[in-house]
Amino acid sequence: MTKSKLPPADDWQARDISDWNVQTFLAFITETTLEKYGVEYSPGGGGSKQARWGRERGMLKNAQGKYGNRVLKAFIEICWREYRTSKPELYPYPSITFCVSYMDRYFTEAVSQVAREARRAKVAEELAVDGEELSDWF
């Protein structure tokens, strides 16, 4: 059996969430930030741009290892939904550094949301009726 080749890491829409890596998350974040907020994504925090990108990569990698891809994606989406700022011209979107540092309380909500979705999928699978089995009844 040959292993099928994954789409490029930057192609987050073509990859299954279980196959996402840090590069895939960064592509998701940069593309969605441009779409949602109309600005190009740039990492937050202090230091050189290279150091900030490195810090965000590390934060994403740590969260990925601790929570998994589904929870991390849900967490990012919750942060986008809940983000408020009094200075939108300076801080139009939450960076990953900001989300992990100041909005980390939403990890609990993301864990619950993913668990709920998994339970629903399991129940839906258990309740699914096989067409052949149903035709045998009639």
pTM of the full structure: 0.86
pLDDT, average across residues 94-107: 96
Q: Would you call 96 exposed, middle or buried from its count of C-beta atoms within 10 A (0-12, 13-18, 19+)?
A: buried
The answer on pLDDT for 33 being more than 90 is: yes
- Pick from 52, 62, 49: nearest CA to 100: 62
pLDDT at residue 126, as a whole number: 76
Check residues 130 and 112 and name the one with the higher pLDDT: 112
